[in-house]
């Protein structure tokens, strides 16, 4: 495969390739219609069903318009023929197949078929596929900020989606534990404790460690800018830290401080992930561990893939329309490029993945292309397994109004704290942490992955409208009905209008998830769940369940709805308590 094909624009790579679905009403109807086209016109066309406005039907297709050109007949004529054939072929599955100008085909499912297609059984489109997900990726010795919160939540949900589609997911976390930021931090630490006395670290209580280390970093960074002596010292510490790894130094004063503070960082990350209720990582890849494998790869391909230029080792990406980037500096130090190659190969060894999905900020788009291009020149197969997704920058405030409570503060813990406090003040006494998490996660996840996000604290904390808490409430409400009604339920034979609208929406669930999985876009699920809850709330407003003649039937619908909403919330990592 030529290198260029790996550099295709995201809009193309998003297209799903795997079309071997096994079940589902949509797939069944598509196959049947393709069969009709084959029989009538001897034409092979991919039939794609869409969900039109309910008044037109349950599914629609423009296949007749596509066929018109091939067959050289008016689309209307083709549509009429297809409709007649489809009715005959699909029998009891559809109650109506109609044609609309200029040649759209609309299908309406029979109530029976509609009811049977309400399912939370998902398509296993990635059965057995090994997918490595790399996300979150915070630097040790620093605090987690809002960007980390976003990428962590997004990555976690992509993992859930992939797992739901049958994939075996490996969650990897690649973060910097060497480099200038570490040296700055260590400098600050040493200043704070008055020398290279690792024993003094014992005095720092566990709970305040993250902030303490962070403060040391800030002090170190300031000294680096303002004080020449400090700057020289920090530069020296920087190379010492590399030495701690090379010589496996665990005993000298500064080395001890380094290892202890590094461990504190990893503890802090793990606590944080637990706190925001995301799946734990399978493995951490500290940057220091990727230097050796990365350098080995670069050295091996020097002269072929990489070339010397001004004393540095570079990959010349210019010919492919990319940037030329340095992999090893003229001082012989590996750059992030080399470390990235190192982690790619190490992960491949550890997990033997079929696909690797990396999620980073969108400022790394062009950079990653260069790394992948270099990788492609080394190992085409491995390069073909790489996917780079980006999450946008989190902006605060919306337009004119900045949030007075958050200002520009972007620490992840502050965001959580602020949302939690706001909820607590609005609704004292109840358990609002679950609600706070739902609010935050949903705020991030409802947007299409890739674009920047305006994080408006007031909006995300809102319990109304298109929000996580609205969905949780909509779920708890349905569960409450079910509790009150007891375990009864009945059979669904025919549906009234409001019931049918709800059933129709429920039946879309698996299709929406398929799409979210195929495109690795969680927001489709969020949008769907909100629409589902909205439709239920309308139904609920207009239709009595308990005590109604149709109680038994409606309870089945409520049950299906609650299960579907719960399954969907679970997929996007949001809790669905039965009571709030």
| Contacts to RNA from residues 546-565, by CB under 7 A | 546
> Which residue lies nearer to RNA by CB, 187 or 198?
187
484 part of the interface to RNA, by CB under 7 A? yes
The Cα-based distances of 239 to 183, 331, 364 in angstroms read 9, 12, 26
Choose the binding region for RNA from 189-197, 202-210, 278-286, 308-316 (rule: CB under 7 A).
Answer: 308-316
Assigned token pair, 247: 């010589």
> Which residue lies nearer to RNA by CB, 411 or 523?
523
User: Taking Cα atoms as reference points, which of 90, 175, 108, 111 lies closest to residue 494?
Assistant: 111
| Backbone torsions φ then ψ of 379, nearest 5 degrees | -150, 95
Coil, strand or helix: which one is 530?
A: helix
Coil, strand or helix: which one is 50?
A: strand
- Residues 257-276 close enough to bind RNA by CB under 7 A: none
* DSSP string over 367-386: HHHHHHHHHHHH-HHHHHTE
Choose the binding region for RNA from 111-119, 121-129, 470-478, 496-504 (rule: CB under 7 A).
Answer: 470-478
Assigned token pair, 376: 């492609």
> Which residue lies nearer to RNA by CB, 79 or 167?
79
> Which residue lies nearer to RNA by CB, 104 or 187?
104
- Per CB under 7 A, the list member of 22, 425, 541, 549 interacting with RNA is 541
Choose the binding region for RNA from 116-124, 272-280, 322-330, 563-571 (rule: CB under 7 A).
Answer: 322-330
Choose the binding region for RNA from 86-94, 102-110, 127-135, 373-381 (rule: CB under 7 A).
Answer: 102-110
User: Is the four-CA dihedral 467, 471, 473, 477 of positive or negative sign?
Assistant: positive
236 part of the interface to RNA, by CB under 7 A? no
* DSSP string over 189-205: HHHHHTSS-GGGGGGS-
- Residues 508-527 close enough to bind RNA by CB under 7 A: 521, 523-524, 527
- Residues 157-186 close enough to bind RNA by CB under 7 A: 176, 179-181
Total number of residues that touch RNA (CB under 7 A): 97
Quick one: 4 exposed, middle or buried, by C-beta within 10 A (0-12, 13-18, 19+)?
exposed
- Per CB under 7 A, the list member of 335, 501, 559, 570 interacting with RNA is 335
Mode of pairing for the β-strands spanning 325-328 and 453-455: unpaired
427 part of the interface to RNA, by CB under 7 A? yes
> Which residue lies nearer to RNA by CB, 40 or 546?
546
* DSSP string over 313-331: EEE--GGGTS--EEEE-TT
- Residues 398-417 close enough to bind RNA by CB under 7 A: 398-399
The distance of closest approach from Cβ of residue 350 to RNA in the complex, given in angstroms and rounded to an integer, is: 21
- Per CB under 7 A, the list member of 333, 348, 377, 382 interacting with RNA is 333
243 part of the interface to RNA, by CB under 7 A? no
Choose the binding region for RNA from 190-198, 350-358, 364-372, 500-508 (rule: CB under 7 A).
Answer: 364-372
> Which residue lies nearer to RNA by CB, 280 or 451?
451
- Per CB under 7 A, the list member of 46, 102, 407, 490 interacting with RNA is 102
319 part of the interface to RNA, by CB under 7 A? no
The distance of closest approach from Cβ of residue 155 to RNA in the complex, given in angstroms and rounded to an integer, is: 17
User: Is the four-CA dihedral 337, 343, 349, 353 of positive or negative sign?
Assistant: negative
> Which residue lies nearer to RNA by CB, 133 or 562?
562
- Per CB under 7 A, the list member of 119, 120, 543, 570 interacting with RNA is 543
User: Taking Cα atoms as reference points, which of 267, 243, 206, 203 lies closest to residue 333?
Assistant: 243
* CA distance linking residue 495 with residue 502, whole number of Å: 10
- Per CB under 7 A, the list member of 25, 60, 230, 278 interacting with RNA is 60
- Residues 285-304 close enough to bind RNA by CB under 7 A: 287
> Which residue lies nearer to RNA by CB, 62 or 295?
62
Coil, strand or helix: which one is 99?
A: strand
| Backbone torsions φ then ψ of 558, nearest 5 degrees | -60, -40
Quick one: 539 exposed, middle or buried, by C-beta within 10 A (0-12, 13-18, 19+)?
buried
Q: Which residue bears the tokens 């799903």?
A: 16
9 part of the interface to RNA, by CB under 7 A? yes
> Which residue lies nearer to RNA by CB, 79 or 255?
79
Quick one: 517 exposed, middle or buried, by C-beta within 10 A (0-12, 13-18, 19+)?
buried
336 part of the interface to RNA, by CB under 7 A? yes
- Residues 106-145 close enough to bind RNA by CB under 7 A: 106, 139
Q: How many CB atoms lie within 10 A of CB 90?
A: 20
Choose the binding region for RNA from 193-201, 211-219, 342-350, 454-462 (rule: CB under 7 A).
Answer: 454-462
| Binding characters for RNA, 17-56, by CB under 7 A (x = yes) | ---------------------------------x-x--xx
* CA distance linking residue 148 with residue 440, whole number of Å: 13
Quick one: 33 exposed, middle or buried, by C-beta within 10 A (0-12, 13-18, 19+)?
buried
422-447: string of b/e by CB count within 10 Å (b at 16+)? bbbeeeeeeebbbbbbbbbbbbbbbb
The distance of closest approach from Cβ of residue 491 to RNA in the complex, given in angstroms and rounded to an integer, is: 19
> Which residue lies nearer to RNA by CB, 204 or 314?
314
């Amino acid at each position: 495969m030529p290198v260029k094909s790996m550099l295709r624009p995201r809009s193309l790579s998003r297209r799903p390739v795997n079309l071997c679905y096994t079940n589902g009403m949509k797939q069944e109807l598509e196959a049947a219609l393709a069969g009709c086209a084959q029989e009538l016109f001897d034409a092979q066309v991919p039939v794609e069903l869409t969900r039109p406005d309910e008044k037109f039907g349950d599914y629609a297709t423009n296949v007749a318009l596509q066929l018109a050109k091939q067959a050289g007949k008016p689309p209307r004529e083709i549509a009429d023929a297809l409709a007649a054939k489809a009715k005959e072929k699909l029998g009891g599955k559809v109650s109506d197949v109609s044609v609309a100008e200029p040649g759209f085909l609309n299908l309406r499912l029979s109530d029976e078929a509609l009811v049977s297609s309400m399912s939370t059984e998902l398509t296993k489109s990635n059965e057995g596929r090994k997918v490595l997900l790399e996300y979150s990726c915070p630097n040790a010795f620093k605090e987690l900020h809002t960007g980390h919160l976003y990428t962590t939540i997004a990555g976690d949900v992509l993992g859930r989606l992939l797992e739901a589609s049958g994939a075996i997911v490996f969650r990897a976390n690649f973060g910097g534990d060497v480099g200038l930021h570490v040296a700055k931090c260590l400098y600050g630490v040493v200043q704070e404790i008055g020398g290279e006395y690792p024993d003094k670290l014992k005095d720092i209580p566990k709970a305040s460690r993250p902030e303490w280390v962070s403060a040391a970093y800030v002090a170190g960074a300031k000294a680096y800018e303002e004080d020449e002596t400090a700057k020289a010292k920090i530069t020296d510490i920087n190379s010492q830290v590399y030495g701690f790894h090379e010589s496996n130094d665990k005993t000298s004063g500064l080395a001890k401080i380094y290892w202890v503070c590094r461990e504190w960082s990893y503890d802090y990350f793990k606590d944080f992930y637990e706190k925001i209720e995301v799946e734990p990582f399978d493995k951490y890849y500290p940057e220091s561990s990727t230097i050796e494998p990365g350098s080995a790869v670069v050295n091996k391909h020097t002269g072929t893939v990489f070339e010397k230029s001004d004393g540095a080792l570079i990959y010349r990406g210019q010919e492919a329309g990319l940037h030329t980037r340095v992999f090893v500096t003229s001082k012989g130090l590996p750059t992030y490029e080399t470390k990235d190659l190192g982690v790619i190969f190490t992960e491949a060894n550890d997990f033997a993945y079929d696909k690797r999905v990396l999620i980073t900020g969108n400022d790394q788009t062009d950079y990653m292309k260069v790394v992948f291009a270099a990788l492609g020149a080394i190992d085409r197969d491995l390069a073909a397994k790489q996917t780079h997704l980006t999450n946008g920058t989190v902006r605060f405030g919306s337009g004119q109004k900045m949030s007075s409570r958050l200002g520009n503060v972007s620490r992840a813990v502050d965001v959580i704290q602020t949302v939690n406090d706001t909820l607590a003040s609005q609704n004292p006494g109840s358990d609002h942490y679950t609600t706070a998490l739902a609010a935050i996660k949903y705020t991030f996840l409802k947007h299409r992955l890739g674009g920047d996000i305006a994080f408006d604290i007031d909006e995300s904390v809102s319990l109304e409208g298109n929000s996580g808490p609205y969905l949780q409430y909509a779920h708890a409400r349905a569960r409450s009905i079910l509790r009150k009604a007891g375990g009864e339920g009945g059979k669904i034979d025919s549906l009234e209008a409001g019931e049918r609208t709800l059933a129709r929406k429920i039946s879309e669930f698996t299709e929406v998830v398929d799409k979210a999985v195929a495109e690795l876009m969680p927001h489709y699920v969020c949008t769907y769940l909100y629409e589902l809850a909205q439709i239920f709330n309308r139904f609920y407003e207009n239709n009595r369940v308990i005590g109604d003649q149709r109680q038994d039937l409606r309870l089945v619908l409520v049950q299906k709805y609650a299960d579907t909403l719960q399954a969907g919330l679970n997929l996007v990592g949001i809790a669905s308590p039965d009571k709030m």
